[in-house]
């Protein structure tokens, strides 16, 4: 990060403290400029997370090319959170995290390609949730890019029923006959509708990513079989 950009970021972090500040580094011709953005996270939530104002992002894009996303960690280290890693990997530019008032700077670089399927931390609405894992499996296994449907946390308690409403749009149909590798198992876990998905690997194993845990294969049977609402298969799969 260039010296004048770091100076501007530090001034922004100090002005917003104890809330997180957020902003963008914009390339305008041969020079770079730091653009302060509003953190839309409400109330106390703004002290430990940020929600960058889309209008500010659009205004920065009008000026030039966005080459960095910046935010502060008030009264904390510059170590990236699970959400920081997931959201950085979802984009194409580096993320910069400034601890404040300590002043240490950490840079994250987006992961190239599909992240490893096992050992992912859970961050809902990104490649690091159960549907994100299904998308990653299909990209690596079959070279198929499934739609990245928007999904806001707790959708299963608002009657949105996303898995059941969207599996056909994603290219799946109800599975017939014995389970096959690549079948997607839709489950109802402590919710009024199917809210969790996993991929059948064969030999009685299912790959899934449950809230609060790292993604991993598990034995498919017992608890998970009892909670299965539907098994779907990608069209054309053999």
Which of 12, 88, 130, 209 is flagged as catalytic? 130
Task: Provide the pLDDT for residue 147.
Answer: 96
- Tell me the CATH number for domain 130-234: 3.90.1720.10
End-to-end alpha carbon distance in the chain:
50
Task: Provide the pLDDT for residue 238.
Answer: 56
Positions of the chain with pLDDT under 50: 45-46
Element (H, E) at 23: strand 22-28
Task: Provide the pLDDT for residue 120.
Answer: 87
Task: Provide the pLDDT for residue 46.
Answer: 45
Class assignment of domain 3-108?
alpha beta
Active site residue 208: yes
Task: Provide the pLDDT for residue 43.
Answer: 60
Q: How far, in Å, are 84, 86, 113, 144, 190 from residue 139 at the CA level? A: 23, 17, 10, 5, 29
Tell me the sheet residues that pair with 185: 198, 231
Which of 12, 71, 73, 208 is flagged as catalytic? 208
Domain positions in the chain: 3-108, 130-234
Task: Provide the pLDDT for residue 237.
Answer: 66
Cβ atoms 222, 166 nearer than 8 A: no
pLDDT in tens, 174-230: 999 999 999 999 999 999 999 999 999 999 999 999 998 899 999 999 999 999 999
Active site residue 21: no
Domains 3-108 and 130-234 share a fold: no
Query: What percentage of the chain reaches a pLDDT higher than 90?
Result: 80
What is the rounded CA–CA span in Å between residue 167 and residue 85? 27
Task: Provide the pLDDT for residue 44.
Answer: 52
Which of 12, 71, 196, 209 is flagged as catalytic? 196
pTM: 0.74
Task: Report strand pairing: 95-100 vs 65-74.
Answer: parallel
SS3 at position 7: helix
Query: What is the dihedral angle through the alpha carbons of 147, 148, 153, 156, rounded to the nearest 10 degrees?
Result: 0
Active site residue 130: yes
């Amino acid at each position: 990060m260039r010296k004048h950009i770091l100076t501007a970021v530090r001034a922004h972090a100090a002005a917003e403290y104890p809330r997180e500040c957020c902003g963008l580094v914009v390339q305008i011709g041969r020079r770079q400029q730091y653009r302060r953005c509003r953190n839309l996270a409400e109330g106390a939530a703004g002290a430990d997370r940020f929600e960058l104002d889309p209008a500010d992002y659009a205004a920065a894009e009008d000026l030039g090319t966005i080459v960095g996303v910046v935010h502060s960690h008030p009264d904390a280290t510059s170590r990236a959170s699970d959400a920081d890693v997931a959201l950085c990997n979802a984009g194409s530019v580096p993320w910069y995290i400034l601890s404040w008032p300590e002043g240490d700077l950490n840079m994250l670089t987006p992961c190239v390609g599909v992240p490893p399927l096992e050992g992912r931390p859970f961050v809902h609405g990104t490649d690091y949730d159960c549907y994100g894992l299904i998308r990653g499996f299909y990209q690596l296994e079959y070279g198929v890019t499934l739609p990245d449907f928007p999904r806001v946390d707790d959708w299963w308690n608002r009657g949105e029923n996303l898995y059941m409403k969207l599996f056909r749009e994603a290219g799946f149909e109800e599975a017939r006959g014995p389970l096959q590798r690549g079948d997607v198992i839709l489950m109802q876990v402590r919710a009024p509708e199917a809210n969790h998905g996993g991929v059948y690997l064969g030999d009685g194993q299912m790959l899934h990513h449950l809230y609060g845990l790292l993604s991993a294969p598990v034995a498919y049977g017992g608890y998970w079989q009892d909670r299965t609402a539907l098994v779907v298969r990608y069209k054309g799969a053999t």
